[in-house]
Every structure is written in C-alpha cells, then in structure tokens.
C-alpha cells in the first residue's frame, strides 16, 4: 500500500559489525584514558620522590661536617641508613649512603707521599623508592659535602674491597655488607661496588680481624669472610683487619648461579629412586681440616631425578653414600666443571653395594678427556679380569646351576644345551663331556635372555680363556649372538661376525656386527669342538659389551672383590701402557692418565 512504513529490523551481521565498531572505539578511548592516568600518576610519583630526596639532602647539607655520616657506618654520623617516609598517601623507603672521598688534589692514600688525611670531603646519596608502586628503579639524588676547616690527620686506615667474576673481570653493582661488632656503636655498612668493581671505604676505624665482609648480587653466588670456629678452626678467608694509616685490600669472586640436574640409574638405564649421593665442590672455606664451601648429602626423588638450582660455578665430584649402592661411574666424568650460569645434566650410574669394589677412571693426559676403549686388567693371585672403559657389559662366569632358565636372573643358570656339555665338573667352567675315558667331539650351550634395559649398540662378544690346547684344533671355541627388541621373539636368530648364521665369533674375532644394534635383548651360543678326543676346550667366562646413554665414558668398574693387593694394567692402541698396584680394602677409586705415543 502506498505510504506504508518499512518496519524491517537490523540483520545479525549488521548488529555484529556495529558492536565491533563500538568495541574498537571503546577500547581506544579506554587505552587513551589509561595512558593519561598512568602518565599523571608517574608524574605525581616523581614529584613526591623529588621532594622527599631534596628534603633529605637539605638536612644533610645543614649538619655539621663531623655529623654527616650514618649511624654504624663509615664515616659515622647521626643519619639513619634506612627509614620510611609517608607523603601524599604514599609510603617511601629512603636509603642514605655517605662515603668519604679521597681527593687527588692533595694526594691519596695510594700516592707517594701518602695523604695522611684522606677524608677530604663526603659524598652523600639519597635513594627513594615507593614501597607499593611496583617501581623498578629507585629515584636517586646526590651531593658533595666539604668541611669548613682544614682537614686533620687521623689514626684510621682504609678498607678497599674488590669484586670480580670467574674470569677476573670487575663486577659493578655488587652488594657489599661490612660489619664490625667490636666498636661502639657497631659498624654496619651496606654499599655497592662501582663500575671498576671496587668499594673504597676511606678513614676506617682500625681493628684486628674485626671486619666481617659478605659480597652478593641478585642471581649471583656469594663470597664472604669466615670466623674461626670449632667446626672450622682454620678459615681460608678470615675477617679483614684495618691498620692505622694503611690500606687493607680484600678480594672476592662471585658469578652467575647455575644448576645441576642429577639422575641416578643402573648400568642398564633403569631409574634408581631415592638414591643417596654426596655432591662436593672443590672450593674451600677452611683448611686443617678441609672444609668445603659446598658439601652436601642429597637424595634423589622417587624417579631418580634431582634438580639443584642456584649453585655456584665450581668443580664438583659425586660419591655414592650409604650401604645400598656403589658408584659405577658418572656422565660426565667426575669431577666435572660447572660454568657460571650453566645448567649441567649429570647421570650417576649405580650398582648394588658390595663390600669391596674398584672404579678405574682413564683420561687422556694431553686433553684431560675421558678415554674410552682402553683395556683395564685387574689381577691378583686368585683374580684376573679385563674390561674396556666406556662400555657396558653383561657377563656369565658360572653355569653350574643347570639349564631351564629363560631370563638371566640366576647368574649360574642358562637356557639349554645338547647334553654334550659338562657344566659342573670344574667350578666356573664348561667343557665337553667325557664318554668313558674320552671326550665327546662337540657340543653347544645356549644362554638365558639378557635384558640390557634399553636399546644398545653392541661392541664385542668376548670369551676366556683366549687360548685353548693346541690338539683341540682351530675351531675349539666358537660363539654366535642373537638379539631382539622382544624378550620372547618367535625365534632367536643366532648370527656371526659377518651378520649370517654361517660365521662364528672367537677369542680373536670379537667385534659384534652392527646388524644387532638397536636391540635390547640378547642371547649367546657357545660351541665347543675338539680334534682330539683326549683333550677338551674350556670356557671360563663369556661377556657381551655394548654402549648406551648410561655407560660412563672412560670408566670401568670391578665389584665383588676380595681384600688384598691387585695389579692394574691399562693399555690402548696409540698410548703408552700404565701399570701399577692398588690395595683393595673397601670401595675404591683410582684415576690413570695415559700419554699418547
């Protein structure tokens, strides 16, 4: 109909666009208002801080020169180092610092001739910070105050404190706390180092071993003097002494804090929880007896981990404590360096405790790095074993428990044999069986399944003894290896060094084919054969060596030892041989450096 009104409303799209435009406008207005209010607030804050600081400096300027100082400070005076002032409803923390200044115009305490009145004038600094304003940096004002009269000599001395980092560079802004409780009132100075890393306290009251000093900085380690005590009768850094008309220099070293992340595990990479260890740095704060700066007994968490944050740079060593575990090795080799600000992962490899053991660490004498692949032979009248550094291993030395064991749990049992092998005739050995007065001509034995705990890279299949009676022939002892990622494969496939079932490992040909790498489970077969029925070959032990992420580089571990003297012979291709003797009377460690040829 003509003249009818259009009563259609807005669509959802139109409403959405309209709301979005309004929100953009509203947010812009709000942001602008917020910026304006913030600017006004900051301006008001700065005006109040300036007024407070100016007021405090005026108080200082109107004091007698001798009174310009902090109670318990150097120079001493009537001012309070820290106080709270309320202005405009805001609470301000006011810190006052007064320092004596040695002006070079008339010489200094370090010049020739020496200025015997070095306190020429005073530097006054007032720092104001709002306690409730989330202020990042305080507001600072300063002034110089000079005496009206001619300076006079004193019997005081000077205390110069330098702070530097791990490489000897100066650290500015380090907090230095100096206390002397032998004076009345006691001296308590809290100040900062300058750009050159020095804090120079001029015209200091004399005192013998009177000044206790502590140096720190946020995120950094601390360094400090130590008073003699029954627990530390001979500190390495005693409190400072100040002598009349003499400069006392004190040096302190701090740097960024780091972290150590410990993980305790078995030689087959299984986590060992709640394991007790001792972590010790090399820095000392006492001697006779030695007192270490960092020396703590720690226990890892239930999953074997322990994060140690806020620890200073040093050279740290790790030991197993308690009676549950022995230390098999560490990754990296202990002792290890923690650099300033660094985070170091450390794997601690542990074994069930035995009364006597030996951990041998082998290093390259030139580089100081751990040397893997070195042969470590430990021998005595009743013991003879050789291990390669940096390799994990499983070993069987006794088969007298008989056949029928699927998984290698009892180290005296095995999986099966062909009834032609004698496992009980000689303790710890296997031979061919006798048939009347002659030996059977051949036989074999298959081991139980070894669980290596993780996927490994195999190294060597070793057998002892390495030589057999000549009459038994060239094929007297042969071995094959089967590996799998399943503990119960459909079939164990036994292979030799060329990766086929047609080849065999021997005492000479021991390198395991890489086709086996990446597997977790392993079995071996040992084949005995003789060319002379009057003689038999024999096997005293079989070892499988491998590498994993939990095999400690450059280290070999011997456990279950008897007390007594042992010969230690260490050799590696391209290096001189090292031989020596060690007396085993507990859980021992020794480090040997090999020199390259």
Residue segments in the chain with a per-residue pLDDT below the cut of 70: 1-10, 14-15, 26, 28-42, 148-153
Continuous H helices in 275-353: none
The DSSP letter of residue 8 is: -
* Structural domains in the chain, sorted by start: 28-147 (no CATH), 258-353 (2.60.40.10), 392-550 (2.60.120)
Sheet holding 587-594, edge to edge: 555-559, 357-364, 587-594
| Nearest of 443, 466, 445, 446 to residue 528 by alpha carbon | 443
- Is-cis flag, bond preceding 283, omega within 30? no
pTM, rounded to two decimals: 0.74
Contact 250, 162 (CB under 8 A): yes
Q: Residue 43, SS3?
A: helix
Q: pLDDT tens digits for 528-540?
A: 999 999 999 999 9
Q: What share of the chain is helix, strand, coil (3-state, %, to 5)?
A: 10, 45, 45
Write the CB contacts of 587 (distance below 8 Å, at least 6 apart in sequence). Answer: 320, 326, 327, 353, 354, 356, 357
Contact 509, 497 (CB under 8 A): yes
| Nearest of 483, 481, 472, 462 to residue 528 by alpha carbon | 472
What tokens were used for 61? 């300027």
pLDDT at residue 36, rounded to an integer: 54
Q: pLDDT tens digits for 286-323?
A: 998 999 999 999 999 999 999 999 999 999 999 999 99
Q: What is the largest CA-CA distance in the chain?
A: 132
| Nearest of 302, 304, 306, 360 to residue 328 by alpha carbon | 360
pLDDT at residue 597, rounded to an integer: 87
279 DSSP β-pair partners: 296, 318
Contact 160, 178 (CB under 8 A): no
Write the CB contacts of 326 (distance below 8 Å, at least 6 apart in sequence). Answer: 320, 350, 351, 352, 353, 354, 357, 359, 557, 559, 587
Contact 550, 349 (CB under 8 A): yes
What tokens were used for 573? 């291709």
| Cα–Cα distance for residue pair 325/308, rounded to 1 Å | 21
Contact 172, 70 (CB under 8 A): no
| Nearest of 279, 337, 274, 351 to residue 308 by alpha carbon | 279
What tokens were used for 141? 């004002």
pLDDT at residue 32, rounded to an integer: 61
pLDDT at residue 568, rounded to an integer: 97
Pick left, alpha or beta for residue 434 (phi over 0 → left; psi -120 to 50 → alpha; otherwise beta): beta
């Amino acid at each position: 109909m003509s003249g009818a009104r259009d009563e259609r409303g807005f669509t959802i799209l139109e409403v959405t666009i309209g709301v979005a435009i309004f929100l953009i406008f509203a947010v812009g207005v709000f942001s602008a208002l917020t910026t304006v209010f913030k600017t006004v607030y900051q301006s008001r804050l700065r005006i109040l801080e300036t007024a407070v600081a100016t007021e405090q400096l005026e108080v200082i300027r109107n004091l007698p020169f001798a009174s310009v100082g902090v109670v318990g400070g150097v120079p001493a005076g009537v001012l309070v180092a820290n106080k709270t002032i309320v202005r405009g409803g805001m609470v301000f923390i006011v810190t006052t610092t007064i320092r004596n200044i040695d002006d070079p115009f008339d010489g200094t305490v370090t010049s020739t001739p020496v200025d015997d009145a070095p306190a020429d004038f005073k530097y006054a600094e007032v720092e104001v910070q709002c306690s409730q304003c989330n202020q990042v940096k305080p507001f600072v004002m300063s002034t110089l105050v000079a005496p009206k009269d001619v300076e006079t000599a004193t019997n005081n001395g000077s205390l110069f404190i330098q702070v530097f980092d791990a490489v000897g560079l100066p650290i500015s802004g380090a907090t230095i706390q100096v206390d002397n409780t032998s004076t009345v009132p006691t001296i308590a100075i809290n100040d900062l180092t300058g750009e050159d890393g020095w804090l120079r306290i001029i015209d200091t009251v004399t005192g013998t071993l009177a000044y206790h000093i502590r140096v720190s900085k946020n995120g950094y380690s601390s360094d400090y003097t130590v008073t003699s005590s029954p627990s530390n009768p001979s500190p390495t850094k005693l409190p400072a002494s100040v002598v009349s008309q003499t400069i006392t220099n004190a040096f302190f070293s701090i740097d960024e804090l780091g972290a150590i992340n410990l993980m305790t595990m078995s030689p087959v990479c299984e986590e060992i929880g709640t394991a007790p260890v001792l972590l010790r740095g090399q820095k000392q704060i006492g001697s006779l007896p030695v007192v270490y700066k960092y020396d703590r007994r720690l226990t890892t968490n239930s999953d074997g981990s322990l994060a140690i944050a806020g620890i200073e740079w040093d050279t740290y060593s790790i030991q197993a404590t308690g009676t549950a575990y022995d230390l098999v090795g560490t990754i990296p080799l202990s002792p290890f360096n923690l650099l300033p600000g660094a985070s170091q992962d450390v794997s601690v490899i542990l074994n069930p405790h035995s009364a006597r053991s030996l951990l041998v660490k082998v290093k390259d004498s030139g580089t100081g790095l751990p040397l893997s692949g070195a042969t470590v032979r430990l021998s005595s009248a009743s013991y003879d074993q050789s291990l390669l550094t940096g390799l994990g291993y499983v070993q069987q030395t006794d088969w007298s428990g008989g056949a029928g064991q699927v998984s290698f749990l009892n180290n005296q049992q095995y999986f099966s044999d062909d009834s032609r092998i004698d496992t009980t005739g000689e303790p710890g050995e296997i031979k061919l069986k006798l048939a009347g007065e002659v030996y059977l001509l051949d036989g074999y034995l298959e081991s139980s399944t070894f669980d290596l705990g993780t996927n490994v890279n195999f190294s060597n299949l070793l057998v002892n003894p390495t030589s057999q009676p000549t009459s038994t022939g060239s094929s007297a002892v042969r071995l094959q290896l089967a590996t799998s990622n399943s503990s119960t494969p459909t079939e164990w496939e036994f292979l030799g060094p060329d990766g086929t079932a047609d080849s065999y490992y021997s005492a000479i040909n021991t390198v395991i084919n890489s086709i086996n790498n990446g597997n977790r489970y392993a079995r071996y077969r040992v084949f005995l054969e003789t060319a002379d029925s009057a003689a038999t070959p024999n096997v005293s032990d079989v070892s499988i060596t491998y590498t994993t992420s939990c095999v400690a580089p450059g280290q070999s571990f011997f456990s279950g030892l008897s007390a007594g003297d042992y010969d230690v012979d260490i050799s590696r291709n391209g290096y001189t041989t090292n031989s020596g003797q060690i007396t085993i009377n507990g859980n021992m460690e020794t480090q040997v450096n090999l020199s390259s040829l």
